Amino acid sequence: MSLVYSEEQQLLADTAAEFLMAKSPVTAQRKLRDEGAAEGFDAALWREMVDMGWSAIPFPEALGGLEFGCKGLGAVFEQIGRNLSASPLLSSVVLGGAVIELAGSEAQQAAWMAALIGGDKRVALAVDETPRHDPAAVALRATRAGDGYVLTGTKAFVADGLGADAFIVAARTGGQPGEQGGISLFIVAADAAGVQVSPMKTLDSRNHATLVLNEVRVGAAARLGAEGEGFAALDAALDRGRVCLAAELLGATQSLFDTTIEYLKTRVQFDVPIGSFQALQHRAAWCYAHLQLARSTVMAGLAAMDDPTLDAATRARMASLAKWKAGDAAHRISREAVQLHGGMGVTDELDVGLYLKRIRVAQASLGDGDFHVQRYGDLSTAEA
């Protein structure tokens, strides 16, 4: 298992870094926030990302993808994190696309994959129903009605839900909340009767929505995979999203660390740079150590997603380890960045505050530290 990018992956990372620095710097994200952009991202920029092939990176050639793997995606997401660049790459391609790839029939893949890869349509994955991520806790009901289903319930924190063409909804066709069995997946058109989508404010000013399904009727052809057996594909897709989000957290944290080190070198007090004070050097070294540990776990998580010799439980453990450690390092280093910048660290004028807000939301998305520590422990116990 390699913990560094290959030559091709590094080339992809360098290209993404150059593109995002020129087209989507932090100032562009600040502008999107100040203008209150409803979708939270620049549609023209997203089109350019699609034209560069980023939306095709993870999928097999048979589905129109580049078959470049999650590690290739990770190289891009790290640069997305460095620039705080907003796009539906995670929600529509990594999460939505993965569910359709893993659970969809040939007809469903034919209907959606080309449109997702081409950026012509967007889907949003609707899983959680409370602020705390837990895919097994699905309570939204799908009841059989004739040759289809009726879906009723509410989903919260649906990433990039505003403006989506369709939702992939995790619904319960059997069992009880907390059980993995009995969860089914459905594609629900955003304009279907009974679908209500409303904006949900979050700290990072990104596109999050509340989705209400009021007796929404769908045909049997809308179901992805077998009835009641959707959890495995859902969890595998979420793991791809978790490691990509971990890579984004790593990039954002690296940028905060670099900015803080530069500040310590240039901020002068008592006629010397404050970075010459040993106490601050120790804090910087402590941050560096945690950043490198996070990098190792993220690279291992990305590599695990691409390794067909590993079983699902091992990949899940590696994904949880990467998401937990990337979030842990981001939490520690973002706090240090604020403190080492003094009072300016909490002002809106400094980019430090924007990174802090995005990091806090990304830490909670797709499972916070408590969720992934518990999951890692449960998976390890089950294997022993």
Task: Write the pLDDT tens digit of every residue in 136-155.
Answer: 999 999 999 999 999 999 99
Q: What is the pLDDT of residue 345?
A: 78
Q: What is the pLDDT of residue 339?
A: 94
Instruction: Tell me how many helices (H) and strands (E) the chain has.
Output: 11, 10
pLDDT in tens, 295-310: 999 999 999 999 999 9
**What CATH class does 123-228 carry?**
mainly beta
Q: What is the pLDDT of residue 38?
A: 84
Q: Among residues 94, 123, 95, 99, which one has the least CA distance to residue 109? A: 99
**Every domain of the chain and the residues it spans:** 7-118, 123-228, 231-383
What is the CATH number assigned to the segment(s) 7-118? 1.10.540.10
Is residue 9 within a helix (H) or strand (E), and if so which, with residue range?
helix 7-23
pLDDT in tens, 200-256: 999 999 999 999 999 999 999 999 999 999 999 999 999 999 999 999 999 999 999
What predicted TM-score, i.e. pTM, was given to this entire model?
0.96
Q: Please name the residues in contact with 20: beta carbons below 8 A apart, sequence gap of 6 or more.
A: 79, 80, 82, 83, 85
CB atoms within 10 A of CB 212: 15
What is the CATH number assigned to the segment(s) 231-383? 1.20.140.10
**How sure is the predictor about 260, in pLDDT bands with cuts at 50, 70 and 90?**
very high
Whole-angstrom Cα distance, residue 258 to residue 272? Answer: 20
